[in-house]
Amino acid sequence: MKIDFREAKSIITKSNIPSIDYVINPYTGCQHGCIYCYAEFMIRFTNHKGDKWGQFLDIKQFDFNKIKPQKYNGKRLLLSSVTDPYIPLELKYENTRKILEKLVGTTAHISILTKSKFVVRDIDIFKKFDNLEVGISISTLDAEFAKIIERGASRPEERLEALKEIHENGIKTYTFISPLFPKITNYKAIMKKTKDYTDSYMFENLNFRPHNIPRIFKIIKEKYPKLLPIYENFRKDHSQWDMIESEIDAFCKNLNLEYKIEFHHGGFSKS
Ligand code: SF4
């Protein structure tokens, strides 16, 4: 992992994601190195030409005292959109924790989204906010498959244990079932496992992008060769997702769950 320290002009920036006003990305790059990651475009925008996603990390240098919590009152903040706020190196550099400490007092709605068990470290700070929720992103319960697609992230079971602990501490939680791999992601099994400690659900489809297509197809070919024609169909014809979307919709309505389906918008991190 190539580590660098770079001055950041701002650390809480305006967002293009629908229903999110500001995004907070404490780092550039991400140690989790997920094969489908939609944030890989950051390589071009951050002077990392030649670097591989998942193999570099810039620790943003910023005067955190500049963060004024009242500025964000009534707004919706997402932590994070193009990195994971609880990568292993957060334990050393603590940018996420420092930002949250400075935000205490805001009435903003803060949504934390992570694939890391280390999120539990900040339960004490989460409790200081009235309007904060913590979400765990999960695509599969299969630890072996998760290791292939999200090599640096916590094991699925560890993520769920973290979510449970957060919920037990009285903090609002959500499970973000993402990305949904056709015929692989068993969203019903994930929901069955998480329903007692999840306040709401979000769903996102697997977005095929030129940079991730070869990696996704290589893995499908190796692990699930029989699914290759199905994946070809999904890649070529986006309407294939409509059936899964209707299925999820009916399933959640039937169980009277709070949920949101984020299909067809091209990736939660960059819409
Ligand atoms: S955790 Fe999120 S930002 Fe990090 S590599 Fe995975 S998908 Fe990308």
Place of tokens 């932590």: 79
Pocket test for ligand 1, best of 58, 78, 84 (most atoms within 8 A of CB): 84
Residue 30 alpha carbon, nearest atom of ligand 1: 4
Q: Which of 32, 27, 17, 30 is nearest to 204 (CA)?
A: 17
What pLDDT was estimated at residue 188?
98
What pLDDT was estimated at residue 264?
67
Three-state DSSP string of the chain: CEEEEEECCCCEEECCCCCCCEEECCEECCCCCCCCCHHHHHHHHCCCCCCCCCCEEEEEECCHHHCCHHHHCCCEEEECCCCCCCCCCHHHHCHHHHHHHHHCCCCCEEEEEECCHHHHHHHHHHCCCCCEEEEEEECCCCHHHHHHHCCCCCCHHHHHHHHHHHHHCCCEEEEEEEEECCCCCCHHHHHHHHHHHCCEEEEEECCCCCCCHHHHHHHHHHHCHHHHHHHHHHHHCCCHHHHHHHHHHHHHHHCCCCEEECCCCCCCCCC
Enumerate the domain spans of the chain: 2-261
The per-residue pLDDT for range 170-225, each reduced to its tens digit, is 999 999 999 999 999 999 999 999 999 999 999 999 999 999 999 999 999 999 99
Q: Please give the structure tokens belonging to residue 172.
A: 């609002």
State in Å: Cα 267 to ligand 1 middle: 11
Ligand 1 atom 6: residue of nearest CA: 34
Q: Please give the structure tokens belonging to residue 205.
A: 């489809």
State in Å: Cα 110 to ligand 1 middle: 19
What pLDDT was estimated at residue 44?
84
Around ligand 1, the residues with Cβ closer than 6 Å are 30, 32-34, 37, 39, 82-84, 115, 150, 153
What pLDDT was estimated at residue 270?
39
Regions of the chain where pLDDT drops below 50 = 270-271
Ligand 1 atom 7: residue of nearest CA: 37
Pocket test for ligand 1, best of 1, 37, 46 (most atoms within 8 A of CB): 37
* Alpha-carbon gap, residue 198 to 172, rounded angstroms: 8
What pLDDT was estimated at residue 222?
97
State in Å: Cα 24 to ligand 1 middle: 14
What pLDDT was estimated at residue 57?
97
CATH of domain 2-261: 3.20.20
Mean pLDDT score of the chain: 95
What pLDDT was estimated at residue 153?
98
Q: Which of 79, 90, 107 is nearest to 20 (CA)?
A: 79
How crowded is residue 4: how many other Cβ atoms within 10 Å of its Cβ?
13
State in Å: Cα 83 to ligand 1 middle: 6
* Alpha-carbon gap, residue 19 to 48, rounded angstroms: 30
What pLDDT was estimated at residue 271?
30
Residue 53 alpha carbon, nearest atom of ligand 1: 5
CA angle 180, 84, 112 (to 5 degrees): 85
The per-residue pLDDT for range 122-145, each reduced to its tens digit, is 999 999 999 999 999 999 999 999
State in Å: Cα 137 to ligand 1 middle: 10
Residue 82 alpha carbon, nearest atom of ligand 1: 3
Ligand 1 atom 8: residue of nearest CA: 37
